[in-house]
Amino acid sequence: MKSEVKNIGVQLGSPVEDLLKQSPVKFSSDCLAAANMCWHEINQGRNDQELLNVTITQPKSSLELDQVASLAIVADDDVSKDIEEVEITLRGLPDNSTHEDNRTLVYSLIDKLKAAGWHKYYFPSDPRIPGSELDKFDWKESVFGRSPLSHPLFDPDRAMSLEQWTGSGMFYDWYLYSGDYLAHIKVLRNSSVASTETGTYLIKIEFTSFNTFWQNSFEEEERPGWKKLFPEHLKALLELRSQAESKARAAGVEVDENYQPPAMERAD
């Protein structure tokens, strides 16, 4: 008998309470009153036969994700009563599927986000070096003095080779953005000493508003006034980028000058 597909629409930036009331599947909630925070979750489980489709929407984009094993909303009422943080765990392939099949699955997910209007993201202190430049320098220890959050090996606009894929370790991270939100695709492969042919992978996507992302980058005592501190903080990060990019250009490595950062990270 075919399982019924449950469809849930998550509008980023909309009230959390609206989602909880309108969802066709009930969320379980775990709240910590002292911190004024709640975690709302639907957990189907990786092997559950029930299917969950989630549509992530913003004013100018809509992203449909199927084979969703769990959906979690973090609600920090001290920050906002709207949807600022969403974590989705995807069902993925059966355990011990080939690395090649898993690589194909992950890049198809990245392509899905790009088709829905999500773009490559460079953290402000990271040099804007695309993956197409990897062969021009030794990036295994550092990228011109930086250990970038948005590493050129994980450029969503370029698929790494299978050799690079299996040699990159257990953790894979891609960053894309759309509007006022950041998408972090997180992939965990089982032990790095696993089979050279097969592996078991856990695939998640975290959607975070830039307001939450940047507020959390400050020390707790600075967070109430973080917006006033942000321009100087951004300026310092961009200076680190400039230093790394100067070294890159001197080494003959091209920099992505056409990159358009999110609105709140534009220094002009």
**pLDDT (tens digit, 0 to 9) for every residue of the chain, 268 residues total?**
455 778 999 999 999 999 999 999 999 999 988 778 899 999 986 656 677 999 999 988 899 999 999 999 999 887 789 999 999 999 999 998 999 999 999 999 999 999 999 999 999 999 999 999 999 999 988 999 999 999 999 999 999 999 999 988 899 999 999 999 999 999 999 865 557 889 999 999 999 999 999 999 999 899 999 999 999 999 999 999 999 999 999 999 999 999 999 999 986 6
pLDDT at residue number 45: 67
* Dihedral sign from CA coordinates of 97, 100, 101, 107: positive
What's the whole-model pTM score? 0.94
Residue 145: left (phi > 0), alpha (psi -120 to 50), or beta? left
Helix (DSSP H) and strand (DSSP E) numbers for the chain? 5, 13
Quote the tokens at residue 254: 């091209």
Distance CA 175, CA 182 (A): 7
Spacing of C-alpha 205 from chain mean position:
5
Burial (CB count <10 Å: 0-12, 13-18, 19+), residue 118 = buried
pLDDT at residue number 1: 47
pLDDT at residue number 88: 97
3-state helix, strand, coil in the chain (%, to 5): 30, 30, 40
pLDDT at residue number 117: 95
Residue 169's CB: how many other CB atoms inside 10 A?
Answer: 8
Spans of all domains in the chain: 5-265
Quote the tokens at residue 112: 């899905």
pLDDT at residue number 35: 79
Partners of 119 in the β-ladder: 177
pLDDT at residue number 268: 61
The H or E element that residue 228 is part of is helix 226-250
Residue 131 has phi, psi (to 5 degrees) of: -60, -25
